[in-house]
Structure formats: C-alpha cells, structure tokens
Structure 1
C-alpha cells in the first residue's frame, strides 16, 4: 500500500513558492555540467512558469563585482518577484529572505540556483532544517564537475528534498489542459522543450 506523504501531495500555484537563486552572468564560468544555451533556456522556462501561474516568487542575488549582472530573464519574466540581496552562502541566513517567506506563508518551496552544489544545496538544507519542503529544479542549475553535481543531488535527496525538472513542474502545476493556463503551458513546451523541438536545433 502506498503511503501518502508531503512529497506525494501535488504542487499547485496555491501551495508553493518559487525561489530563483543567483541567475547572474558572473557565475557562467562554473557552468560545466550543462551547456550554457540549454541552461538559459531552462531557466527562462522556469521564470515563465512563475509568470504563467502568478506564483509568489523571491529573486535572490546582487549585481556587481565578480557576480556580474542578472540574466535578462529576471527583468523580463520575474518583474512580479520580490528581490532580496544575498551576501551569505545560504539565503536562509539573510533575515529579509526569512521574513518574506514567512509573509507568503507556504511550506513548499520550488527553487533553482545557478550553482547546484553551493547556493541551491545550502539553502535546501537550511529549508529542510526549518520545516520547509524544498523541490529543486535540477535542470535550471549546474556545477563545475559532474561528480560534484551528483554528490549535491544525493545529499539533498538523502536529507529529504525532491528533485524535479521544469517540464514536470509545468504540467503538475497546470493539472488540466483545459485550465486558463493550459494554452500558455503548451506554448512553453513548444518554445523551450525537446517535445517542441528545442534540442533539434543543436543537431541540424
């Protein structure tokens, strides 16, 4: 018999919050486990999901110095998001971040971070330690080594987090093609997924 748990409860636009961590150009050199074009494509799709479902969203990071500037997708699709500057390895250690999470009042946190093994992992562990339920969008993240990336996913999973993809996320949040968001999700797949031919561009 299958046992119901907090991780078998479906995600919805009413029970989850999105957190975007460090989508800044200065971290590009560390992206060696995923092609840059694929990474930007996936991160853009993730940002559009936030917009399509009008979900509460927190955008973490600060521009300047080695961090560079935010990817254009942040201003283009995340204008509704709450911006929080972060100067700590884990965003949990920024009081404003905790305050904003408390205001939103949701336990399920869907997050993507440019460095899976650093900013995404450390925040995920802190969220778990404080009663939240993190879902890590792994195809919107990367690392400098496959081994390091694998270790990060293992540690987060063993700690209790769930690994997801943006494609799974879009369908789960939608639930039914006849919803008002159904058409937008269909367009999202056509523009950004392999189902719509995105990866074919690299073969031709």
Structure 2
C-alpha cells in the first residue's frame, strides 16, 4: 500500500531502492534545466548517501557505447558494481533492471536521471502503474530545458509520484540525529556536496575548537 500522508509515507533506508538512470555525457551535453555541474554534484551526493545508508542502488545507462559511460563520480562510489546498459528508453521496460529492483524486496522506489522528461518520466509513470511507491529526486535529474523538466515533474505528480531533493531524502533517511550509525557519513557528504550547509558545519567545528579568550583581570 502506498501512503501519501503520515509517518508511514516518509522514506526509510531499509525500505528504499535507488535507480540512477543515464547520467551520461550525451545527456549532460544538452542539459539546460540546471547547471550541469550542480547535477553531477547532486547525483554524486545521492549515490554516496545511498551507499552510506545501505540502500541498494542500480546503475543503468542507455547505449553507453555511443552515449558515453556513467559519470565516474557515480561509478567510483560503487566500484565493483556492473552498470546495466539498455536499448529501451523506458528503463522499466527492461526486464533485467526490473528483476534486480524486485530482488531487493523493497517497495519505496527512488529514481533520478537524465533527462527528466524522457528517461525519468517514462519509468516513473510505468512503475506507478505497477503499484510502486515512487519518489523522484529532482535536483539529481534534469531536462533539455527548464520547461521540459518542470512539465515532466507536473506530469509525474499528477500520476502519483513524490518529488524530493537529495538532501531532503538523506535527511529523511537519517530522521533522528540520535541515530549515530550513519551520522558521520552523512555529515561528510554534506561537507563535500551541500555547499553552504557543509561550510557552515566546518565553521561550527572551527568555533567549537577555538579557545575562549581569558577574561581580562
């Protein structure tokens, strides 16, 4: 059952599975909805967060021989994992991908990819029809224009998908800072990928480690 409100609707690492779709040079070359560097940063942060929280992550490309390999920033996070290369534009029509996702036994399906209006929207809408609880990470995705990205998001929301950003997802997986088993890894990811939040944390550490001046007598 898919819940849209209440505690049960929040994402949990033990129930999540992540599919990263077509983060490749060909797609990045015509990415116009975002700063391309930001999408590389955000998709890398998303991959690192999934690894930190033990979330199974499927890497898939389309026609990699022509479109290029998935960004090394992502594959370096999973150095021993094979990438599933497809001919299907719609990832959810590729049985090899679907079988790997189903084998995880999880039902909270999280998707990010390039381009939003094509290689994200099609599998999201397809998987929703198959009964999956689907979340799209919008800032680790991107389209050929601002309009195409935004219209795709509207289309997927209308179909029943949930929209999040990578830091919101990681925070939802963490849920409670008293859960210390992943806190250090998440903090390290934020330091390297969350811009102002990461710098603010480093500044906080500097201040905490700065001796308080002695009061003049």
1:90 Cα deviation after fit? 0.7
For the residue of structure 2 that corresponds to 1:109, the secondary structure is strand
Give the total of aligned pairs: 194
1:80 Cα deviation after fit? 5.8
Are residue 183 (structure 1) and residue 181 (structure 2) matched? no
Q: 1:72 to 1:136 in 2, by over 3 A?
A: same
> Which whole-Å CA distance do the structure 1 matches of 2:84 and 2:4 have between them?
27
Which residue does the alignment assign to 1:6? 3
Structure 1: segments with no counterpart, 5+ residues: 199-204
For the residue of structure 2 that corresponds to 1:96, the secondary structure is helix
Q: Is the 8 A contact 1:113 1:140 kept in 2?
A: yes
Write out the 4+ residue segments of structure 1 that deviate beyond 4 Å after TM superposition: none
Which residue does the alignment assign to 2:60? 60
The worse-fitting range, judged by mean Cα deviation, of 48-57 and 155-164 is 48-57
> Which whole-Å CA distance do the structure 2 matches of 1:80 and 1:172 have between them?
27
Q: 1:43 to 1:126 in 2, by over 3 A?
A: same
For the residue of structure 2 that corresponds to 1:70, the secondary structure is coil
* Structure with larger Rg: 2
1:197 Cα deviation after fit? 4.1
CA RMSD after TM alignment:
1.8
Q: Is the 8 A contact 1:21 1:59 kept in 2?
A: yes
Which residue does the alignment assign to 1:196? 198
Structure 2: segments with no counterpart, 5+ residues: 201-217
TM-score of the two chains, using structure 1 as the length reference: 0.89
What per-residue deviation string (whole Å, max 9, x for no partner) do you get for residues 27-53 of structure 1?
A: 122211111111111111011011111
TM-score of the two chains, using structure 2 as the length reference: 0.84
